[in-house]
Amino acid sequence: MARRQGAGVHEYSIVRALVDRVEAAAVARGATAVRSIAVRIGELAGVDVELLATAYRTLAAGTLCERSALEVSTVAARWACRDCGAAIAAGGPLRCAACDGPAALQQGDEILLERMEIDVDDDGKDTTDVRHARI
Ligand SMILES: [Zn+2]
């Protein structure tokens, strides 16, 4: 996993893709503005949340996202046995206590656009659910 390749390069490229995706979805629904977006970041995704927020403010300027709130939730890594599915505690050896099978990551490396809320001309507010769209 590439980390710290220059300040925030990773975060800026994520946010650029995020803003593109959100704006395209907002335009497709006739939005006049994006009110808020929620993203979910796994703790193993290698994303600095502060840098992400800074990048968002910078790249959202001049787009429909300009005045939107950004909510970020972080997701802890969770492992399970690839063979029998038993949960494997983080922090210990990544082998299954029951059958010694290898651990598989269940969650914690995702970067997901979870939700966006947009303003539309007619009804004022429209909540658009885009759950689990990978950025
Ligand atoms: Zn197992």
pLDDT at 68 over 70: yes
Q: What is the mean pLDDT of residues 27-50?
A: 94
Nearest to 13 by CA among 58, 71, 64, 67: 58
Report domain extents, the chain: 9-76+108-134
Cα-to-centroid distance, 105 and ligand 1 (Å): 13
pLDDT at 45 over 70: yes
Using an 8 Å Cβ cutoff, are 36 and 66 in contact? no
Cα-to-centroid distance, 2 and ligand 1 (Å): 30
Cα-to-centroid distance, 86 and ligand 1 (Å): 5
- Which CATH fold topology does 9-76+108-134 show? hypothetical protein PF0899 fold (3.30.2320)
Cα-to-centroid distance, 61 and ligand 1 (Å): 49
Question: How do residues 104-118 score in pLDDT, each as one tens digit?
Answer: 999 999 999 999 999
Cα-to-centroid distance, 6 and ligand 1 (Å): 40
Cα-to-centroid distance, 59 and ligand 1 (Å): 45
Q: How far apart are the first and last CA of the chain?
A: 17
Enter the pTM of the model.
0.79
Cα-to-centroid distance, 91 and ligand 1 (Å): 17
